[in-house]
């Protein structure tokens, strides 16, 4: 890892969800403990890298679609360690004035985001916990960039499966819905056990020692996060099936283990 990015408070012994994901995407902001967990993950799911890339590609297509629908402010919650095709890059390629607030609780994700966003006034990174959405909404940087009287896009991409049932993930989404103006959008992708329950159970066990758990959910449970929103076509689907670009592979989509959907607030 490039030592410039290592904040002193980082616990390198405990695998971090953000750093494992960075490793799967080919990044170098990860430690031996993260690579250990990723190696276990690749044993359980040899296509884990492909899965991470497919999730990331879904995020890019969803942001393009939402920006194309005229939304110019994005809140990317559980945003991760910056990689190729970050939300502000994709959104600003469609809407040059788009504003983006990133939110993560991981020290490395926050330090690296801060560094690459330093010169971009239209973006900010908040170190905050998505389980406390009120803190995000009250943050001065959030208020500087996001006007809640206008449509906003809330992104919870590969994020809600890091929240246990006791921590009320539906309550988090409902809190965001309640402050969003009509025309706002919600983008979710989420690990599911619908197709391969044995595999997702083994993944859950691996993540027991990580900074966040991995909680897979059923199609119906994930669909309920969209209560009060109107799902856009093609609905909640395995991520490669969500408006694939021409030439994208969409064979055996259930092997990707992740559902994705985009919805609009009426």
Ligand X SMILES: C[S@@+](CC[C@H](N)C(=O)[O-])C[C@H]1O[C@@H](n2cnc3c(N)ncnc32)[C@H](O)[C@@H]1O
Q: How far apart are CA 9 and CA 42, in angstroms?
A: 28
Query: Considering the rule CB under 6 A, would residue 157 count as an interface residue with ligand X?
Result: yes
In this chain, which of 30, 73, 92, 105 binds ligand X, going by CB under 6 A?
A: 105
Give 25: exposed, middle or buried? Use CB within 10 Å, 0-12, 13-18, 19+. Answer: middle
In this chain, which of 54, 86, 88, 106 binds ligand X, going by CB under 6 A?
A: 106
Closer CB to ligand X, 106 or 139, in the complex: 106
Q: How far is the CB of 159 from ligand X (least distance, A)?
A: 5
Query: Considering the rule CB under 6 A, would residue 18 count as an interface residue with ligand X?
Result: yes
Q: How far is the CB of 195 from ligand X (least distance, A)?
A: 19
Q: How far apart are CA 196 and CA 168, in angstroms?
A: 24
Query: Considering the rule CB under 6 A, would residue 162 count as an interface residue with ligand X?
Result: yes
Query: Considering the rule CB under 6 A, would residue 192 count as an interface residue with ligand X?
Result: no
Query: Considering the rule CB under 6 A, would residue 109 count as an interface residue with ligand X?
Result: yes
Query: Considering the rule CB under 6 A, would residue 159 count as an interface residue with ligand X?
Result: yes
Query: Considering the rule CB under 6 A, would residue 80 count as an interface residue with ligand X?
Result: yes
Query: Considering the rule CB under 6 A, would residue 186 count as an interface residue with ligand X?
Result: no
Contact window for ligand X (CB under 6 A) among 73-81, 112-120, 177-185, 231-239: 73-81
Query: Considering the rule CB under 6 A, would residue 56 count as an interface residue with ligand X?
Result: yes
Q: What is the 3-state secondary structure (H, E, C) of the chain?
A: CCHHHCCCCCCCCCCCHHHHHHHHCCCCCCCHHHHHHHHHHHHHCCCHHHHHHHHHHHHHHHHHHHHHCCCCEEEEECCCCCCCCCHHHHHHHHCCCCEEEEEECCHHHHHHHHHHHCCCCCEEEEECCCCCHHHHHHCHHHHHHCCCCCCCEEEEECCHHHCCHHHCHHHHHHHHHHHCCCCCEEEEEEEECCCCHHHHHHHHHHHHHCCCCCCCECHHHHHHCCCCCEECCCCCEEHHHCCCCCCCCCCCHHHHCEEEEEEECC
Q: How far apart are CA 172 and CA 78, in angstroms?
A: 13
Query: Considering the rule CB under 6 A, would residue 129 count as an interface residue with ligand X?
Result: yes
**Contact in structure between 55 and 78 (CB atoms under 8 Å):** no
Q: How far is the CB of 266 from ligand X (least distance, A)?
A: 26
- Count of residues engaged in binding ligand X, rule: CB under 6 A: 22
In this chain, which of 79, 86, 92, 113 binds ligand X, going by CB under 6 A?
A: 79
Q: How far is the CB of 201 from ligand X (least distance, A)?
A: 18
Query: Considering the rule CB under 6 A, would residue 63 count as an interface residue with ligand X?
Result: no
Query: Considering the rule CB under 6 A, would residue 257 count as an interface residue with ligand X?
Result: no
Query: Considering the rule CB under 6 A, would residue 236 count as an interface residue with ligand X?
Result: no
Query: Considering the rule CB under 6 A, would residue 212 count as an interface residue with ligand X?
Result: yes
Binding site for ligand X (CB under 6 A): 17-18, 21, 55-56, 59, 78-80, 103-106, 109, 129-131, 157-159, 162, 212
């Amino acid at each position: 890892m490039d030592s410039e990015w290592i904040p002193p408070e980082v616990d390198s012994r405990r695998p971090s969800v953000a750093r494992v994901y960075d490793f799967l995407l080919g990044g170098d902001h990860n430690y031996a403990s993260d690579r250990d967990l990723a190696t276990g993950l690749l044993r359980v799911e040899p296509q884990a890298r492909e899965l991470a890339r497919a999730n990331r590609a879904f995020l890019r297509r969803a942001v393009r679609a939402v920006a194309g629908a005229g939304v110019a402010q994005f809140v990317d919650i559980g945003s991760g360690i910056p990689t190729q095709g970050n939300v502000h890059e994709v959104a600003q390629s469609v809407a040059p004035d788009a504003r983006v607030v990133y939110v993560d609780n991981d020290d490395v994700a926050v330090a690296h985001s801060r560094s690459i966003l330093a010169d971009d006034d239209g973006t900010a990174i908040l170190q905050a916990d998505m389980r406390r959405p009120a803190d995000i909404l009250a943050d001065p940087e959030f208020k500087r960039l996001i006007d809640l009287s206008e449509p906003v896009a809330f992104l919870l991409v590969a994020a809600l499966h890091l929240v246990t049932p006791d921590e009320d993930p539906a309550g988090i989404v409902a809190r965001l819905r309640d402050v969003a103006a009509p025309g706002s959008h919600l983008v979710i992708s989420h690990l599911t056990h619908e197709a391969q329950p044995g595999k997702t159970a083994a993944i859950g066990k691996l993540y027991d020692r990580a900074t966040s758990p991995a909680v897979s959910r059923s199609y119906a449970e994930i669909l309920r996060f969209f209560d009060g929103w109107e799902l856009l076509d093609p609905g909640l689907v395995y991520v490669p099936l969500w408006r694939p670009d021409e030439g994208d592979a969409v064979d055996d989509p259930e092997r990707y283990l992740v559902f994705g959907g985009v919805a609009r607030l009426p």
